[in-house]
Amino acid sequence: IIGTSWGTTLYQVAQQLEPKNVRNVTVVQLNGGVSHSETNTFAFDIINHLGRAFNTVPYHLPLPAVVDQVLVKQAMVADRHIHRVLQLGEEANIAIFTVGEPSKESTLIKAGYFSQDELDLLFKRRVAGDICSRYFDIYGNICHDDLNKRTIGIDLQQLRHKSHAILVAGGMNRVDGIFGALQGRYANVLITDQ
C-alpha cells in the first residue's frame, strides 16, 4: 500500500513515474486536499498519476485538509467510506510526502485554509514546516494543537511506523522543515537537493 500527500513537489514526482507492470498495489491519499481557493493542491492529479504508474485504481480523500470545527472533522471521518480510506493510509507500508514551507508561498497557506490569527500563532511558535497539513517546529513537535485536531489525514506519529517513510523536499526555504521532520523521526528516507 502506497500512501501519498500532495503539493507541487509531489506533483513533479508523480509526473516522472513510469508505468510499472505490477499487481496487488494499492494507492491512497494520506490527507485531505480540496482547496478553499483557486490554488491547485494537485491532490487529484498526484493520486491519479500514481494509480496509473502502479496499475491500480487509487483511493481519493475528497475532503479539505483542515476544517473549522473538530465536530465537523469527527462527522466526516465517521463516514464509513472516508474511514476506510483513512484506514488504508494508516496501513500503508510506504508513504511518500513532502514538507511544506511556512511562508505565503506554501500551497496550503495559499489554498486559504487558515485565518490570519492562526497564521500569526504558527509563526509566533516558530513553525518549521508541515507534513500532510500538520505543522511542526524544528524539533518535530506539533505547533498548534487546535489546528492539528481539525486536520484530516494521517497523524505524523503513524509515519514513524512505515517501512518506507519517504520525504521528498529541497531548497534552502525547506531546510528547517526537513530538519524538523528528521528530528521528529517522521521520515526514514530523504530525497533532497544539494
Count of beta carbons in the 10 Å neighbourhood of residue 12: 13
Sign for the pseudo-dihedral over CA of 97, 117, 40, 55? positive
Nearest-angstrom CA–CA distance, 93 and 146 = 28
What does the pLDDT read at residue 38? 73
- Lookup result for grid cell 480523500: 61
Which segments within the chain are labelled E, that is strand? 2-4, 27-29, 94-97, 129-131, 134-136, 164-168, 189-191
Residue ranges of the chain with per-residue pLDDT less than 50: none
Nearest-angstrom CA–CA distance, 114 and 92 = 29
Q: Are 179 and 93 in contact (CB under 8 A)?
A: no
What does the pLDDT read at residue 41? 83
What does the pLDDT read at residue 118? 87
